[in-house]
Amino acid sequence: QVQLVESGGGLAQPGGSLRLSCAASGSIFRINTMGWYRQAPGKQRELVATITISGNSKYADSVKGRFTISRDNAKNTVALQMNSLKPEDTAVYYCTADLTDWSLSPKNYWGQGTQVTVSS
């Protein structure tokens, strides 16, 4: 079994910054892709950013130039630095990992989510 634990959410003012972190633990052989999704009230869950094991990243158009995703392969962690926050960034943010476990089976896991609220 694998657990993803997120931290770092909270309240920020428009134009402010927050940093989200996610740590994966458990039966992990290799984490191939890690990422962040978000879901605002009444909306579908959407991709925010992903990063591969080799460091290739992609972003939603809405966050390009403001958010930066990074990962530490040795520690099985991923972070999302969010700058120039806007009220429309308000959502529950979920960490996700596509990994291979010790049985060499591909698996996908999600964290429990962390609330980000951008408001003055």
pLDDT for residue 104: 84
pLDDT for residue 44: 97
CB proximity list for 50: less than 8 A, separation 6 or greater: 33, 34, 35, 36, 57, 58, 69
pLDDT for residue 1: 87
Residue 70's CB: how many other CB atoms inside 10 A? 16
pLDDT for residue 103: 85
DSSP 8-state symbol, 27: S
120 residues of the chain, pLDDT tens digit each: 899 999 999 999 999 999 999 999 998 999 999 999 999 999 999 999 999 999 999 999 999 999 999 999 999 999 999 999 999 999 999 999 999 988 888 899 999 999 999 999
